[in-house]
Structure 1
């Protein structure tokens, strides 16, 4: 059985995950946001990946480009050339996954959490990660459908990239069956019992979106392993200050 569980999890320091990069300061999933998150020393930088009409992988959360660029249209109906003509609010084009992975190679400590937003191009994501040589600094997130494709693929390729369960339903039974190392429910859907059960299974719990002190205190009280935030610098500082006071 192909299992990717960690046998032991160190929980003395809460991990800081930059949500789509340092997206509180720069456009989400942009090169600028990723660079800022690296400079801020985020433990993980979460990015979203979708496929264009011509099969290229780009960093974008939504199925359409409308919300984050000056363009319009569905990602799956646009070619990379068309997508690259649109601009993010900072003037940058939407980056490709390859550009982001090459940027990761320059980071001293940050890792990527790559969220595959839709099924059908898992092999392309794996190939890009392996080709860039950063497979040991990446964690792939996806629905159970996506992960059920990724697991045999990477086993065939001879790699053991860490996996995390994402999506609306993050049942611990499913997470254990898949052999993932993490789950990441929204903080409003989280309780102490869930966290404790996950830890009994050696599964890390990250929660989102933690952008203020109230949410941070709640996350610490719940005993999560990491927080997903748009402000990795501020939340990192506050988490250290609050450590031991809750």
Structure 2
């Protein structure tokens, strides 16, 4: 079965979708305005990022619970004020951006946002509302509870991906055909789930194959695979028929799509 038409404006773009994961993580400045700007200059129109809330409720585009790994400062984001977080430098040079800054800086870009903590849920929905960015944001999470809260607050105007339970049900259904997955997924699809975002393999078990793609497409869900950094894997997944790839290797993915005549990001 071919890929479904878009269920939400977020997906209204030629396939396959190319996502710059954390803006492109190979230069040591992941989730910085500089990284996202570089990806946009290359032609990316889908940017993947993460959000946490500071102690005083400011929503920042940042992956880790703490500043320690990628910045010149230490401490848990949730325990620090925005003033303290704003003094940190990613890779020693780049400030930690607020999500609102990303939405303002790249008005033509679409943001795929992994909500990393329950404290970030309300600020996330409020930020999208203030920016009137419902059409260009998709929210994902490893937490069913966080996704359910996002959907309850925003409704179907905000695109979301399936959570872990939905992915598991879809995978089992694709293998056996016996799980009544539609009973589980029906309300989720009505509330805004438009895609499945998964690794190709998890804990040594294959997730993405033709059966999984058929099961997802039959329910109107696109399949986006993360985080794919080597070019042979990109080619294999594209040949399989995935609808999108998330990568740190933004130049590599662009080169693969250009050579295939399917670089879709700018339409140039």
TM-score band, normalised by shorter chain: 0.7 to 0.9
Counterparts of 2:216 and 2:134, CA distance in 1: 25
Distance 1:222 1:175, change over 3 A: farther
SS in 1 for 2:233: helix
Counterparts of 1:175 and 1:111, CA distance in 2: 25
Equivalent residue number for residue 39 of structure 2: 37
Distance 1:81 1:10, change over 3 A: closer
SS in 2 for 1:184: strand
Distance 1:62 1:177, change over 3 A: same
Task: Tell me how many residue pairs correspond in the alignment.
Answer: 234
Equivalent residue number for residue 170 of structure 1: 167
Counterparts of 1:47 and 1:168, CA distance in 2: 22
Shift of 1:64: 1.0
Equivalent residue number for residue 116 of structure 2: 117
Equivalent residue number for residue 177 of structure 2: none
Counterparts of 2:90 and 2:122, CA distance in 1: 28
Q: Deviations over 1:146-199 (max 9, x none)?
A: 1211122113xxx70111135597233455541111111112232221111101
* Aligned mate of 1:185, from 178, 194, 198: 198
Which of 67-76 and 185-194 deviates more? 185-194
Equivalent residue number for residue 153 of structure 1: 153
Counterparts of 1:202 and 1:212, CA distance in 2: 28
Counterparts of 1:166 and 1:151, CA distance in 2: 12
* Aligned mate of 2:102, from 85, 100, 103: 100
SS in 2 for 1:149: helix
Matches within 5 A, 1:190-229: 190-229=208-247
Counterparts of 1:169 and 1:232, CA distance in 2: 29
Counterparts of 1:83 and 1:217, CA distance in 2: 39
Equivalent residue number for residue 129 of structure 1: 128
Distance 1:37 1:167, change over 3 A: farther
List 4+ stretches of structure 1 deviating above 3 A. 9-12, 166-169, 173-177
Counterparts of 1:52 and 1:229, CA distance in 2: 27
SS in 2 for 1:6: coil
TM-score, normalised relative to structure 1? 0.85
Q: Give the gaps of 5 or more residues in structure 2.
A: 1-5, 171-180, 202-206, 263-268
Q: Deviations over 1:23-82 (max 9, x none)?
A: 224511100011112112213100100011111111111111110101111111111111
* Contact 1:54–1:79 (CA under 8 A) maintained in structure 2: yes
